[in-house]
Amino acid sequence: MTAPSAPVRSAADLRGRRVVVLGLARSGVAACRFLADAGAVVVAYDRRPAADLSRAVAALGARPIRLALGVTETAATALLEHADLLVTSPSISARFVTTDAWLRDALLAAEERGAELISEVELFLRFTRARVLGVTGTKGKTTTASLVAAILAAGDVEHVLGGNIGTPLVERALDLGSDDWAVLELSELQLPTIGRGADVALYTNIGEDHLDRHGSVEAYRSVKAILAELSAPSGRVVLNHDDPGCLDLGARLSPASVAWYGVARPDRSRVEAWIDADGWLRVAGERLLPAGDVPLPGRHMLSNVLGASLAAHLVGVPAAVVADAIRGFGGVPHRLELVAERNGVRWINDSQATIPMAAIAALEAFDAPIVLICGGSHKGLTYDAFADAIARRARAAVLIGETADELERLIAGRVPVERVGTLDEAVVNAARLARPGDVALMAPAAASFDMFTDYAARGDAFRAAVAALGGGA
C-alpha cells in the first residue's frame, strides 16, 4: 500500500501521480485522456472486457494508459491499493448500496489510507477558471440546462455545456478563461463528488427519486442540497417557489443568496420571475414574452423556462435576447418530444419521465384526451398520485414492464387498461385505442432497465415503433 499523497490542487500536481480511473464510459475516457496528457500514470479499469470496449479504447489514442478491463475483483482491488488518486464514475461510490460490496470495501480502504477519490466533474471544477452555472433538480435538468445554453449563445456569451447532459468537460478545464461560463447539468450521482459551488446554481425542483440508491427521501434531498450549500456563500441560488422541496431548501439558506421564480407570483413575495396577470413571463420586472409563445407544452415547462430566464438574467443577458432564444428553442429529445402526427393523433415521447412526478406533469401538459403508455422497472417509489392523474386525464392506459401489476391494481375500474409484453405491442394497441384529436403519450413513470439499456434507448424504440405504424399525417 502507498503512503498518503498531497491533494491535487493544480494540473501540475498530476505529474507522476498514480491514478486509477474506474469506468470507461464517456466521462472515464475524457478523464483518462486529460490525466495522461497532464503526466499522470494512468490505469483504466472497467468490469467489462476489452471486446466490449473497443470504441472507448480507440478513443484513448496512443496515450500510455494501462488497461485493466474485465480483470478479477482481486486484481482490481490490488490496483486500488497502489493508487494515489481514484477517479470514479458517478455511479461508483463506497456509500451507494448499488455499488458492488467488494468495490465499496476497496474504496473505503483507499480513503482510510489517504488516497483521494475524485470525479471527472470535480476535476473540471477544481482546475477551471470559468464561471459556473450549475443546473440540478429531480426533473427538468436537461431541458433547462440546454435552454440556458441556448440563451447564452443568443447573447454571444462564451460558454460550454456539459456534465450529466452527456458531455464531459474536463478536457476543456485549462482552456476556459475567467470570462467564460460553464453550464453544468449535475445529477444526484455527481453532486456528492463536488467540492466547489457555482456562481449561479439553478434548481428546477426537488422531489423524490433514486431511493434504491439513497435509502430515503431525506437522504436523497440532502444530496440535492449540496450544490446550494456550496454555492450560497458567494453565488446565487435560483429556486422554484412553486416546489415544496425548493421552499424547504431556501428556508435553510441566506435570503440574500436566493433568487426565486414561480409560475404564479404570491403576494408580498420576493419572486423575481413569474407569469403576470396578462399571461406574460416577467423577469426582474421586465416582460419577456406571452406564455402562449413558449414552444414547450405544459406548466412544468413554463417553470423550467422561468428558471432558465432568471439564471440568464443573473449572467447579464438582456431580456429581449432571452425572449428570442425561448421562442426558437425546440426542446430536447425524449422530453415531451413530438415524434409524429398520424391520422390526427399526436405521438409524444416522454421516455425521460422515469418517476411519477415527471409523468404526472406530462399528463397535465395536454388539453386533449390521452392514451397513455407507461410502466417499467421499479425505483422504490409510490404510484398512488400517478394513478389518480391517469384516472383524471387518460382515455386509456397500456401497461408494460415490472410496474404493470401495481399500476393495474391502482387504476383498474377507473380507466380502460390493457397489458402487453413489449413496447412495440404497446404502440400498436395505443394506435387502436386513440382517436383523431388524441395524444398518444409514452410517459413511463419508471426506469427502463427491465427492457432497455437506458431511457434514451427506450425513447428510440418508441420512435421506431411509431414509424412502423405507417399511416398518414
Q: What is the pLDDT along the chain (473 residues), one digit of tens a residue?
A: 454 567 888 899 999 999 999 999 999 999 999 999 999 999 999 999 999 999 999 999 999 999 999 999 999 999 999 999 999 887 788 777 778 999 999 999 998 999 999 899 999 999 999 999 999 999 999 999 999 999 999 999 999 999 999 899 999 999 999 999 999 999 888 898 899 999 999 999 998 765 556 557 888 889 999 999 999 999 999 999 999 999 999 999 999 999 999 998 776 578 999 999 999 999 999 999 999 999 999 999 999 999 999 999 999 999 999 999 999 999 999 999 999 999 999 999 999 999 999 999 999 999 999 999 999 998 888 999 999 999 999 999 999 999 999 999 999 999 999 999 999 999 999 999 999 999 999 999 999 989 999 999 999 999 999 999 976 55
> Which fold would CATH assign to domain 337-469?
Protein-Tyrosine Phosphatase; Chain A (3.90.190)
> What angle in degrees, to the nearest 10, is found between the helix axes of 319-327 and 299-315?
140
The reply to whether 14-120 and 337-469 are identical in fold is no
Report pLDDT for 80.
Answer: 94
First to last CA, the chain: 66
Report pLDDT for 3.
Answer: 47
Instruction: Give the C-alpha distances (Å, rounded to integers) separating 70 from 46, 50, 77.
Output: 6, 7, 13
Q: How far apart are CA 124 and CA 120, in angstroms?
A: 6
Cell for 458? 427506450
Amino acid in position 114: G
> Which fold would CATH assign to domain 14-120?
Rossmann fold (3.40.50)
In CATH, the architecture of 128-327 is 3-Layer(aba) Sandwich (3.40)
Domain spans of the chain, in order of start: 14-120, 128-327, 337-469
Amino acid in position 210: H
pTM for the model stands at 0.89
CA torsion 135-138-140-143 (nearest 10°) is 50
**Dihedral sign for Cα atoms in the order 135, 141, 145, 151:** negative
> Pairing relation of β-strands 345-349 and 337-342?
antiparallel
Report pLDDT for 268.
Answer: 58
